[in-house]
Structure 1
Amino acid sequence: MASDHKGFAVVIMGVSGAGKSTIGELLAKALKCSFIDADDFHPQSNKEKMKKGIPLSDEDRTPWLKVLQDVVKANLVGGKPVILGCSALLKQYREILRSADPNYRAGGYDRCVVKFVLLDVRVDLLMDRVQKRAAEGKHFMPVELLQSQIDLLQVDDSERIVKVDASFSPEAIVDNIKRSIF
């Protein structure tokens, strides 16, 4: 990861239930750096919308992504590596996060110190995970919104997003990410 500063960011992305928090926390521990869960930065209005089964709009997501951009940028400028768990479903959302790298120029994916890893999971496994989490009261995202996220997810090969099969054990997934990025 070429850069003028020592900091880097890895965004663990994917739809709800893919394992962003679990994998992000484990990867951060393995790399001895901070983990940021994007869900912790949603305003209450976004959480309420999702609880009601209403998908978020770009108007809901953009301010939230800009806050995340600022948090990642502060880490990068401070030379601190950071792992961010964030859905980052659309290229335009990832561009906001990439812009946390002060040296990033649109399309310069190879030189950007903000890297993306897509946790790729079969729909049936995602449904099981989200239903289990909802039943345990562990998340505000209802299973009814999962399909809207799946439909929204766009991955452009030119972005060089690392895709990992997230149906394996968390440890195997983290090992795969470390081999793929570092």
Structure 2
Amino acid sequence: MPASQASTVVVPSTIVVMGVAGCGKSTVAALLADRLGWDLLEGDSLHPARNVERMSAGVPLDDADRAPWLAAIADRVREGAAAGRPLVVACSALARRYRDVLRGKGVVFAYLAGTRDLLESRIAARSGHFMKPGMLDSQLRTLEPPQPDEAAVTVDIDAEPEAIVAGILSELGLVAAAA
């Protein structure tokens, strides 16, 4: 359920579902895109092979590693906006400087926030994902939650994904597409 709305948002055309590993970005983004009838972009699918190799080996990414990945996501966001195709993006966007790369007219962020214990348990329960449990510390050190001057809502992940999505829709004043 939503914890707070950091700023008033006018009709978004892109929602970036953000947060650290294990917060449910992919699940929530997919449900949100489905509910809205919007396109979905799984940001992890745009990581260069080198980034995936590094993370799979337990090596945290640095800003130089993230730069081409964020640029590729930003390109997709701009392409969607130019084509008039609303988009939901799953992307960690942990630091403000990363969100600044993605930011643009109609872009809002839905920050999925949770306790360390909950995040650790979710990461440990996953199999086949390149993000290893030991990398949570690095992500939490990098995390800069959205500030009041950013177009963002913050939601607590200690709820079922459907309830989280319903909260995001409510906070943003959006209505689910007709089935």
- Please tell me whether residue 149 in structure 1 is matched to residue 139 in structure 2: yes
Match of 2:158 in 1: 167
What displacement does 1:58 show? 0.4
What displacement does 1:52 show? 1.1
Runs of 4+, deviation exceeding 6 Å: none
- Please tell me whether residue 56 in structure 1 is matched to residue 49 in structure 2: no
Give the one of 59, 72, 84 matched to 2:77. 72
Match of 1:87 in 2: 92
Q: Cα deviation per residue 1:109-155 (whole Å; 9 max; x = unaligned)?
A: xxx3000010011110100110111xx22x10000001110111002
> Per the alignment, do residues 117 and 2 of structure 1 end up closer, same or farther by CA in structure 2, a change over 3 Å counting?
closer
- Please tell me whether residue 132 in structure 1 is matched to residue 137 in structure 2: no
Q: Residue type matched to 2:153 in 1?
A: V
Inter-partner Cα distance in structure 2 for 1:160 and 1:63: 24
CA RMSD in angstroms, aligned pairs only: 1.3
Inter-partner Cα distance in structure 2 for 1:166 and 1:176: 11
Match of 2:177 in 1: none
Query: Relative contact order (alpha carbons < 8 A, sep ≥ 6): 1 or 2 greater?
Result: 2
Give the one of 116, 123, 128 matched to 2:116. 123
Inter-partner Cα distance in structure 1 for 2:113 and 2:153: 10
Inter-partner Cα distance in structure 2 for 1:120 and 1:92: 19
TM-score (norm 2): 0.88
Structure 1 unaligned regions, length at least 5: 102-111
Of all paired residues, the percent bearing the same amino acid is: 40
Match of 2:41 in 1: 36
Inter-partner Cα distance in structure 2 for 1:2 and 1:157: 15
What displacement does 1:2 show? 4.9
